[in-house]
Amino acid sequence: MYPISSFRVKFLSFPIVLAILTATAFASARGEFERTLKVSGNVNLQVETGSGSIDVRTGNSSEVRLVGHIYANDWFGGGDAEAKVKKIESNPPVQQSGNDIRIGHIDDPELKHNISISYELVVPASTELKASSGSGSQTISGISGTLEANTGSGSLKISDIGSSVRAHTGSGSVEIDGAKGSVYARTGSGSIHARDVAGGFDGETGSGHLTLEQTAPGSVRAETGSGGLELHNVRGSLQAQAGSGSIRADGEATGGWIVHTGSGSVQLKLPENASFDLNAHTGSGSINLSHPVTVQGTIGRKEVRGKVGSGGVPVEVQTGSGNIMIE
């Protein structure tokens, strides 16, 4: 029979052994590289990273400056982290052919495993950008060319873009503050907030609130699976749909408006002298109108069909359960 003290010694030594094994198994390393690339004229830039953030802002018109922040670990057989970092530092994933620049493309499969590279870039304003990350947030501002930003998981923060914008994230919020072209925005899970959009808008979120502040005429399509829609200064056609959530929209219906929600209230605000053909229905709720309606079909608490003013473009409003207010 063993003494009790011997069992105590063995038991106390286990956490120490585990800590040593963990430290050995999960070693990590960090590194960094910098480059300055000379350019002349419009820049066509592509940036990609498997895991890491992307930050782009504008600066000198004759160069692209970049800093790459490397993080590597050898978790679960990921290899020598320190060796991987040194290899990337000595030969960064940067390719240039005149004004065409590609950053982040790695062919070596060993350097794709357990590696994260985040990029900070200062680029000329006259840049057209395509940025993609497997997981990581992106912040992009000031470029005058078209922008395409994609991330599997992470937020997108975009501002002062001089052309069209395409923004997509699998999970995360999308914020767009200033775009002089059309905007296409998607998120599987997260909110979308777009303001100062000077063109058409097409936005969709699986779950989350969507807000738009438009500044120039253009068609609008906005959809959310669960969450509300808030659409301001819409001047053109409108398609707004929510699986469940309230919808508020104001502007001028110069094209047809179709506004549907499965459950939630709908509030539309149109000019006092607006003319349109109204078709409004609620399954459970009431309809309130501040515009006089010339009845063509029916008018009641739950359904209204008729002309407002002299009639014109169709305005269709429907909710499964909720009130409808048109003012």
Question: Mean pLDDT, to the nearest integer, of 178-200?
Answer: 97
Question: Does the residue 210 lie in any domain?
Answer: no
Question: Does the residue 209 lie in any domain?
Answer: no
pLDDT over 70, % of the chain: 87
Record the tokens describing residue 75, joined without a space: 């978790």
Question: Does the residue 254 lie in any domain?
Answer: no
pLDDT in tens, 271-325: 988 999 999 999 999 999 886 666 565 667 789 998 888 889 999 999 999 999 9
Distance of alpha carbon 256 from alpha carbon 240, whole angstroms: 11
pLDDT in tens, 2-19: 444 443 444 445 454 444
Distance of alpha carbon 165 from alpha carbon 288, whole angstroms: 38
Question: Does the residue 90 lie in any domain?
Answer: yes
Domain that holds residue 132: 26-137
Place 1 in a pLDDT band, splitting at 50, 70 and 90.
very low
Distance of alpha carbon 94 from alpha carbon 101, whole angstroms: 8
Question: Mean pLDDT, to the nearest integer, of 169-197?
Answer: 98
Q: What is the pLDDT of residue 2?
A: 44
Q: What is the pLDDT of residue 73?
A: 86
Residue with more model confidence, 83 or 120: 120
Separation in Å, CA 263 to CA 155, 192, 225, 260, 272: 28, 20, 11, 9, 28
Question: Does the residue 128 lie in any domain?
Answer: yes
Question: Does the residue 30 lie in any domain?
Answer: yes
Record the tokens describing residue 80, joined without a space: 């020598």
Place 26 in a pLDDT band, splitting at 50, 70 and 90.
low
Residue 64 has pLDDT above 50, yes or no: yes
User: Residues 56-89, buried b or exposed e (16+ Cβ, 10 A)?
Assistant: bbbeeeebbebebebbbbbeeebeebeebbebbe
Count of structural domains, the chain: 1
Residue with more model confidence, 112 or 276: 276
CB atoms within 10 A of CB 198: 16
pLDDT in tens, 156-172: 999 999 999 999 999 99
Record the tokens describing residue 14, joined without a space: 């286990």
Which residues have C-beta within 8 Å of that of residue 117, sequence separation ≥ 6? 49, 50, 51, 52, 68, 69, 70, 71, 88, 93, 104
Q: What is the pLDDT of residue 19?
A: 46
Which residues have C-beta within 8 Å of that of residue 142, sequence separation ≥ 6? 57, 58, 125, 159, 160, 161
Torsion of CA 124, 130, 133, 138, to 10 degrees: 50
Q: What is the pLDDT of residue 308?
A: 87
Average model confidence (pLDDT) across the chain: 89
Question: Mean pLDDT, to the nearest integer, of 44-68?
Answer: 97
pLDDT over 90, % of the chain: 75
pLDDT in tens, 228-264: 999 999 999 999 999 999 999 999 999 999 999 999 9
Question: Mean pLDDT, to the nearest integer, of 161-184?
Answer: 98
Distance of alpha carbon 122 from alpha carbon 109, whole angstroms: 29
Query: Are 167 and 186 in contact, with CB atoms under 8 Å apart?
Result: yes
Residue 75 has pLDDT above 90, yes or no: no
Which residues have C-beta within 8 Å of that of residue 17, sequence separation ≥ 6? none
Question: Does the residue 43 lie in any domain?
Answer: yes
Residue 23 has pLDDT above 80, yes or no: no
Nearest to 257 by CA among 231, 288, 291: 231
CA 252 to chain centre: 27
CA 17 to chain centre: 45
Q: What is the pLDDT of residue 108?
A: 81
Per the DSSP assignment, residues forming a β-bridge with 257 are: 238, 315
Q: What is the pLDDT of residue 3?
A: 47
Question: Does the residue 31 lie in any domain?
Answer: yes
Separation in Å, CA 34 to CA 50, 53, 69: 19, 16, 9
Query: Are 274 and 255 in contact, with CB atoms under 8 Å apart?
Result: no
Distance of alpha carbon 57 from alpha carbon 286, whole angstroms: 50
Q: What is the pLDDT of residue 12?
A: 42
- Residue 203 burial class via C-beta count within 10 angstroms: exposed 0-12, middle 13-18, buried 19 and up: buried
- DSSP assignment letter at 87: H
